[in-house]
Chain A
Amino acid sequence: MNLYEFSYGIIHWLVDLVNHLWYWLGDWLPWALGDFFTAVGDFAASDGHLSVMTMLLETLIIVIVALINVLNFLWIFRKLSGRILDFYGPYYVGYRIGGWLQNLADGMKLFVKEIIVPAKADKVGFLLAPIIYVGSSLLILATIPFSENFGLSTNPSGEYVPAGALFAIAAFAIAPFTILLAGWSSNNKYTLIGGMRSAAQMMSYEIPLLLTVASVFLLAGSFNFVDIVDMQHDIWFAIPLFIGFVVFLVCLMAEVEIIPFDLPEAEAELVEGWTTEYGGMRFGLFYMTTAVRSYAGGALATALFLGGWHGPSFIPDEIWFLIKAYLVFTVFMWVTWSLPRVRIDQMLGIGWKRLLPLAVLNLFIAAVVKSAGWV
């Protein structure tokens, strides 16, 4: 049973329950009002309404699963960082589960902090930037299915969005604008510098990312996630497109802004970069969004390169997908804590001068592999 059928079942049951009460109420009331109630009840039970509500419930389920995974990601981030740096990670909060509740505790702490809006800041931009940033990051996860049965589909047969991968990459690319907006509207010299650096970095690393994803589209022959994953049942795309995989991972690290590419929020020079003026849960949202984006990036890498949900059948498909996404994240952590920060001009140099030719080379390899019929 796929997610659509599951949600449809719940919504149908719920609407039936409410309609029982509703129709009974309508029978009680006199003529015109009673007819009105009956009409509303009929509308609620109609196909169109049910499918819209089903999709909303699907989205809610997917968002909840994503956020729980984000909590896991944050826990892995702190615990693994601690172990690499030779100390224990979070230990006491949630003692028996290895300190998993520490992030919840930190989130609660952020809720009770005072939120200050600078007097001369541009209020609309200041308030809007985190909303769009978080929203667009969660939007990426909308179209990535965890398995054939778990994903945002629009009909009972489980068909997913036809250009799902394209939509995901497009949603990925909204972020630079929001960062620029946040940095500029804070009315602070340092956040402005941080915001501009960040926007430059993100935009210059989008291009190799898109080229690499384009090579995957070429090999798979479709923009649909399910088709791409199905084409990988023999061999994962990471093996013929190994250069592309490495370029993809490096560009992801630059998009998510972790060391070695975290100059926009480098503590050593600019105190917190473009998020300096944000306090309380607004700052918490930015921190959480980094985890959401790395999760989304890991999920994308898994779906596009690492064979999605294919694996031995003793573990269900969704768990395989998550295991592979977590593995990609672990590689990110490993690289983050091994390398120093790259300077901004060197970083742009890497993006344009080294990664772009490699991505083009990868495209060429993909074309060769496809036309020789090896995949």
Chain B
Amino acid sequence: MAEAKGRTTGLVARPLWRTGKQIVRTLILGRPNTVLYPHHKLDLPLGYRGKHVVDFKRCIGCGNCVTICPNDCMWLEKLEDPELGKIERPGIDFGRCLFCGLCVEVCPTAAIHETVEFELADHERQKLRSGPKELRDDTYADKIPEERPKRSLPVLDLSKCTGCEKCAEECPEICIAMMPIEKVERSKPEITLAKCTSCGKCVAACSEQALTMMDVYDSYFDMPEPKLKLAECTGCGACARACPADAIYMLEMPGTEKVLKDGKKGKPKKRAVFVLEKCVGCGRCFRACRFHAIDMPGVRK
């Protein structure tokens, strides 16, 4: 097929025939192929990546979107909301945004979406920076069909757990293992989420209702996990306050009470305990700890 050359019979006859058909088509039979924008606009498919919207109720303020943006165009802004209190929500600089959609993919609660709005031009560069309030739309997620797969998974509240091990016995897939917590005379259940079949038996078995079934979105990104260096932990609790996903609990270490001058016993020291199933990998604990007790292995600054 690559070798045969066409014959140019009539020198110009075939191109004229082709263009002649086109003239008949657009003048007599129909319309040209273009659209009289801005009077008529094309319909864009739902997956089109345009302007973002942020659902304030779903967002936990973790900042994963800010970290993953390739072009550093997002920031977290501290706001006061009448319903939600003191929150941090992301804003986007559309002058720098690539519209790549990585922030949408990495969000652990599917709080940020991209709509089909693309007419974002403005006369001033400052106006292109959209703060969180301009991006807020709490009802967008209800209007579109759910795209990200999610699973029902058991979520642990460590403050209620007593370490009774009933959940580990009930689990048919043996995904729950009781791991001892160092210096705290208790063990906590560690759930291997990959093996969980959402049967709910562990939730039913727990007498303290420390386990609840919640819908969790699948994440295809391997987020970094924090490791605690117990020797440096002072129990200040900064990491627990910084964690947006409630994955860090401060537990008392029995036997570490200091004896005070008047003979009374003081309060026991605390240590941080991680429930890594809930961790979203945002790294705020790492940045909050001033004693360098938390390490994120593999992350290069």
User: A87 within 8 Å of B by Cβ?
Assistant: yes
Stretch in contact with the other chain, from A57-65, A214-222, A308-316, A333-341: A333-341
Q: A334-B19, A334-B20, A334-B23 are in contact. Are A88 and B32 (CB under 8 A)?
A: yes
Inter-chain contact A88/B34, CB cutoff 8 Å: yes
Instruction: Check A234 for interface membership: any CB of B closer than 8 A.
Output: no
Determine whether the beta carbon of B33 is less than 8 Å from that of A87.
yes
Within residues 199 to 250 of chain B, which ones have a CB less than 8 A from any CB in chain A?
Answer: none
Instruction: Tell me whether chain B's interface is mostly helix, strand or loop, or mixed.
Output: helix
Q: Are A86 and B22 in contact (CB under 8 A)?
A: yes
Decide yes or no: A86 and B26 within 8 Å by CB, A91-B36, A334-B20 being known contacts. Answer: yes
Contact between A338 and B23, CB atoms less than 8 A apart: no
B10-18, B49-57, B98-106, B150-158: which lies at the interface = B10-18
Complex partner residue of B36 from A82, A86, A88, A334, CB under 8 angstroms: A88
B32: chain A residues at CB < 8 Å are 82-83, 86-88
Q: Which residues of B contact A86 (CB under 8 A)?
A: 22, 26, 32-34
Q: Which residues of B contact A334 (CB under 8 A)?
A: 16, 19-20, 23
Residues of chain A within 8 A (CB-CB) of B26 are 83-84, 86
Interface string of B1-41 (1 = CB under 8 A from A): 00000000000100110111011001100001110100000
Chain A interface extent, by class: 10 to 19
Q: How far apart are A239's CB and chain B's nearest CB, in angstroms?
A: 20
Q: In the complex, what's the smallest C-beta–C-beta distance from B57 to chain A, in angstroms? A: 45
Q: How far is the CA of A350 from the CA of B20 in the complex (A)?
A: 25
Which residues of chain B are within 8 angstroms of A82 by Cβ–Cβ distance? 32
Does the CB pair B36–A337 fall under 8 Å? no
Residues 75-88 of chain A, each 1 if its beta carbon lies under 8 Å from chain B, else 0: 00000101110111
Residue of chain A at shortest CB distance from B13: A338
For B20, list chain A residues within 8 Å (CB): 334
Q: Whole-angstrom distance between the alpha carbons of A334 and B13 in the complex?
A: 12
B9 CB to nearest A CB, Å: 15
Are A335 and B34 closer than 8 Å at their CB atoms?
no
Q: Is A84 within 8 A of B22, CB to CB?
A: yes
Q: Is the CB of A338 within 8 A of B36?
A: no
Which residues in B have their C-beta under 8 angstroms from that of A91? Answer: 36
B33 partner residues in chain A, CB cutoff 8 A: 86-87
Number of A-B contacts (CB under 8 A): 37
A91 to B36, CA, bound (A): 9
Contacts of A88 in B (CB 8 A): 32, 34, 36
Give Cα A49 to B293, complex, Å: 111
* Smallest Cβ-Cβ distance to B18: which chain A residue: A338
B18 proximity list for chain A (CB < 8 A): 338
Question: CB distance B19 to A338 under 8 Å?
Answer: yes
Q: How far is the CA of A88 from the CA of B26 in the complex (A)?
A: 9
A-chain residues with CB within 8 Å of residue B23 when the two chains form the complex: 80, 83-84, 334
Nearest Cβ on chain A to B168's Cβ, whole angstroms: 69
- Give the distance to chain A from B233, nearest Cβ to Cβ, in Å: 69
**Residues of A with C-beta under 8 A to B27:** 83
When the two chains form their complex, are residues A338 and B12 in contact, meaning their CB atoms are under 8 A apart?
Answer: yes
Contacts of A337 in B (CB 8 A): 19
Cα separation A129 to B92 with both chains bound (whole Å): 57
Which residues of chain B have C-beta atoms less than 8 A from A335's C-beta? Answer: 12, 16
Instruction: List residues of chain B with CB within 8 A of the CB of A339.
Output: 12, 15
B39: nearest residue on chain A (CB-CB)? A92
Whole-angstrom CA separation of A84 from B27 in the bound complex:
9
CB-based nearest B residue for A83: B26
Which of A80, A82, A83, A337 is packed against the most chain B CB atoms within 10 Å? A83
CA distance A87 to B27 in the complex (A): 11
Q: How far is the CA of A334 from the CA of B24 in the complex (A)?
A: 12
Chain A residues near B36 (CB-CB < 8 A): 88, 91
A313 to B130, CA, bound (A): 71
* Cα of A169 to Cα of B42 in the assembled complex, Å: 52
Shortest C-beta distance, B205 to chain A (Å), equals: 69
In the complex, A299 Cα to B25 Cα: how many Å?
Answer: 28
Separation in Å of the A337 CB from the closest CB of chain B? 6
Q: Which residues of A contact B (CB under 8 A)?
A: 80, 82-84, 86-88, 91, 334-335, 337-339
Q: With A86-B26, A338-B18 given, can you name 15 additional A-B contacts, CB distance below 8 Å?
A: A80-B23, A83-B27, A83-B32, A84-B26, A86-B22, A86-B32, A86-B34, A87-B32, A87-B34, A88-B34, A91-B36, A334-B20, A334-B23, A335-B12, A337-B19
A-B contact pairs, 20 of them (CB 8 A): A82-B32, A83-B22, A83-B26, A83-B32, A84-B19, A84-B22, A84-B26, A86-B22, A86-B26, A86-B34, A87-B34, A88-B32, A88-B34, A335-B12, A338-B12, A338-B15, A338-B16, A338-B18, A338-B19, A339-B15
Q: Residues of B with Cβ closer than 8 Å to A?
A: 12, 15-16, 18-20, 22-23, 26-27, 32-34, 36
